[in-house]
Every structure is written in C-alpha cells, then in structure tokens.
Structure 1
Amino acid sequence: MSPRKKEPKIVAELGRPETPEETAARKAENSRLYKSRKTINNLVYSMLVTLALVLVIYFLVPRPDGDPQWNIDYVAQSEVAAQTLNRDLLVPAMPEDWRANAAELRNANNGKVTSWYIGFITPNDQFIAFNEAFEADATWVSQTLNEYPPTGEMTIDGQVWTVYDNREMSDPGNVEYAMVTTSGDATIVLFGTADPVEFEQLATSITADLRSAQ
C-alpha cells in the first residue's frame, strides 16, 4: 500500500487550503514586513548612535564662561577705528557693568555716511546703540530711527539733545527710546530699549568731549 498523501493545511481565514500563488504572495509579504522592521530598527539605532556622539561632543568640548560676544573691548577697537579714519572718535567712559557686544565702523547710504558704532548692554541687560556718524544728513538719522518723529528735547551739561520716546507704541522694535545731538560734522545717535536714565548716563559720559569739539 502506497503512503497516504498529506492533506494541505486549511487556512482559517480562507476556509480552504492556500493555492500556490497565495502561498508565494504570503511569503513575499512576510519577507517585506521583516525587511521593513529591520530597516526601522537600523534607523532607530543610527539615531541613537548619532545622539550619543552629539552628547559626547557637547560635554567634552570646553566652552568659555559667560557670554564672550558681550565682552568686546570697545576702547581698543576705537583706537583701530580712529587710525582707519585718521580722526578722533568719541569713546564713552562707562562703568565695568556696561558691556559691549559690538564695536566697529559702519557704512550707510552707499558708503556716503561712515559711523563709529558701539552696541552696549546695560547693567539691566537692556540695549543701547551708540552711533557717531560723520557728515550725516537728516535722511540718515530718520532711517536709523525707523523714521520715528522726535518727541522733545533735553539739555545735559549745556548740550542739547533731541529725544525720541516711542515707548507708548505697540511695537517700536529696538527704537523704544532715542537721543540725537550734533557736534561739528558729527551726528551722535543713541537708540535702544534701555531706561531713559541709562541713556542720560551714556550721553553724560561724552558731553565734555562733545563741547570741546565744537
């Protein structure tokens, strides 16, 4: 008697044995799912390795204390700028708790106006931009102050300053408050977000030099 052939298994979902085509399709789908899961696992593993490397670099690379871009030596930079322009520049003598995040020469109006710029960070962590521009006109002042109109005047040690108080505006940007004066061919513009008292402190620091230049 010949051995009895093994009956094909009945697939519960089908209620009958699989056809050869269905068997091949099932195996192909299982293979695809396996490869897909393997790809995702490899991707997750790669991301974890990358994250680990980033953390190692972050903790091993030394970083300077404090905020270095807030410690520009603007006095030293003023000497370089003065040599470049071949003229004396105003250099505010501020306390040590006044820091600078920039000190440089800037050009505007297609190079027609050159200005000596210092970006001050005040003791209250507010910002005041100091600009000493040469042969600047009213257009340059207006553009620098976002075309805001003046709101008054004040006199500090005999030097008259035009005041721009924009603090009541909904969004004055970095020009919440500003002060402008002139001395010879120089126009001095102070603007920023600091309290008016700090503006007056900065203006006072250069008043003697302004009056001697007139």
Structure 2
Amino acid sequence: MAKKKSTEPRVVAELGRPETPEETAERKATQSRNYRMRKTVNNLVYSLLATVALVAVMVIIVPRSDKPTDRSVDYTVVAGQVQESQEAHLASPKLPKTWSANYAEVRSKTSVKSWEIGFLTPDQKFIGMAQGLNANDSWTSLMLKNSVPTGTTTIDGVQWTVYDNRDSRDDKIGNVHYGLATQAGSSYFVLFGSASNEEFTTLATALTPDIEKEANR
C-alpha cells in the first residue's frame, strides 16, 4: 500500500517551524533579486572582456609608424597669410631643407606686435626669430631677457649687435644663450637661442633680403 504524501508545511531549519506565506514570498523575492544581480554582474564581466578583446585586436591590426611625428610648420605659407593684414614686410628667410620651424605666428608683448618663427637647426638646436613691428629698444631688451650687449658683428653687409650669454650663470636669461639684434625701418629683428655661431650666421644671412626690403620700404 502506497504511503500518502504529507500535506503538512515543510519545517525550515533556520526557523524551526514552517514558513508563513509572507516569509515564503519574501524568500522567493530575495532569490529572484540575487539571481538578477548575478546575471547583471556576469553580463558586465562578459562585456568588459569583449571590449578588452576588441581593443587588443585593434592594437594588433592598426598599422603603426616608427617614424617620429612631424610637428613642423610651413612658415612661408603662414607668412603669406599673415602678410595681407600687415603693413610691414614680414621676414620669411629661405633656408636649407635641413632646417625646420615649429611655430610661426604674430604675438603681442606689451604694446608691440611681433612676427615670430621658431627654427630648429640641422643639429636640432633652437633659434627664435622675432620681428618687432613698429618696435623699440625696450621691446628688444624684453625679447633678449635684458641681456647686455657684448659686441657687434657684420653678417652679409648687415650690422648686428651681439649678446653672448653662454658663460652666464644667470637663470633669468632662459634660452637666450646667444642673441643678435638689428633694426631696419620700423622693424627690429632679434635672433636668440642655443645654436652655434655658424648656425646663427646662416639664419642672419638668409634674413638679409628681408631686412633690406624692410629698410627700403
């Protein structure tokens, strides 16, 4: 004879008695919440793994160049664009292809506007060129960090004042280790940087046509 199935409520060990209907409903709701939370966490983990895998694939398949990024600026093009709004002739020296520029723009220091180009020499040394438009001696002094003249030199028929700070221990000179300055018409031309005398001479020589054109304007 088969045993009859018990219809008495199941005793819950933690409670020591059968669950009430409310406790049963709460237990099932808690189990449902926990299941959904586990499912959500699992989905997040799977999504994260998929994203990492996609990024890894992109890194592998996207071609990369070992060449350094070229940040050079075509200062001759910029000079042509800016020239339209300037009365003075803006310098645009013709230099060997081994030279490059990393900036070319009109800047304002105090009340004086200046056309400035930052050159990198073949030895990767810096020479800044600044052409002060309707400038003055105070502007020149500002550009050269109040350096004291140490002599003069004539380069390609143009006389330049020399500022040689290479032996100076004054931190205020910044990158004005060596400088040259001259005036032509209403423009003041200043060169400054860390390059050799020969490289300064190369740039100064390349500027001669621009200086003469400004002087005769």
Cα 1:52–1:199, aligned 2, differ >3 Å: closer, same or farther? farther
Secondary structure of the equivalent of 1:94?
A: coil
1:112-156 Cα deviation digits (max 9, x unpaired): 211111100000000000111111122211111111111110011
Partner of 1:184: 185
Quick one: distance in 1 between partners of 2:142 and 2:190? 11
Write the letter of the residue equivalent to 2:120: I
Larger-Rg structure:
2
Normalising by structure 1, report the TM-score: 0.68
Query: C-alpha displacement at 1:188, in angstroms?
Result: 0.3
Map residues 7-22 of structure 1 onto 2, 5 A cutoff.
Answer: none
Query: C-alpha displacement at 1:67, in angstroms?
Result: 3.1
Quick one: distance in 1 between partners of 2:165 and 2:147? 8
Partner of 2:159: 160
Contact 2:117-2:129 within 8 A present in 1 as well: yes
Query: C-alpha displacement at 1:57, in angstroms?
Result: 7.0
Cα 1:79–1:166, aligned 2, differ >3 Å: closer, same or farther? same
Normalising by structure 2, report the TM-score: 0.67
1:189-213 Cα deviation digits (max 9, x unpaired): 0000000110011001111332243
Contact 1:179-1:191 within 8 A present in 2 as well: yes
Q: Which structure 1 residue ranges, 5 or more long, are not aligned? A: 1-48
Contact 1:161-1:181 within 8 A present in 2 as well: yes
Quick one: distance in 2 between partners of 1:198 and 1:152? 18
Cα 1:204–1:61, aligned 2, differ >3 Å: closer, same or farther? same
Cα 1:61–1:167, aligned 2, differ >3 Å: closer, same or farther? same
Write the letter of the residue equivalent to 1:113: V
Cα 1:200–1:66, aligned 2, differ >3 Å: closer, same or farther? same
Partner of 1:44: none
Quick one: distance in 2 between partners of 1:86 and 1:141? 20
Quick one: distance in 2 between partners of 1:175 and 1:92? 21
Partner of 2:138: 139
Quick one: distance in 2 between partners of 1:116 and 1:154? 23
Partner of 1:23: none
Secondary structure of the equivalent of 2:84?
A: helix
Secondary structure of the equivalent of 1:155?
A: strand
Partner of 2:212: 211
Write the letter of the residue equivalent to 1:193: S
Aligned residues: 165
Write the letter of the residue equivalent to 1:66: P
Quick one: distance in 1 between partners of 2:82 and 2:74? 12
Quick one: distance in 2 between partners of 1:96 and 1:66? 18
Identity of aligned residues (%): 39
Write the letter of the residue equivalent to 1:140: W
Q: Which structure 2 residue ranges, 5 or more long, are not aligned? A: 1-48
Partner of 1:28: none
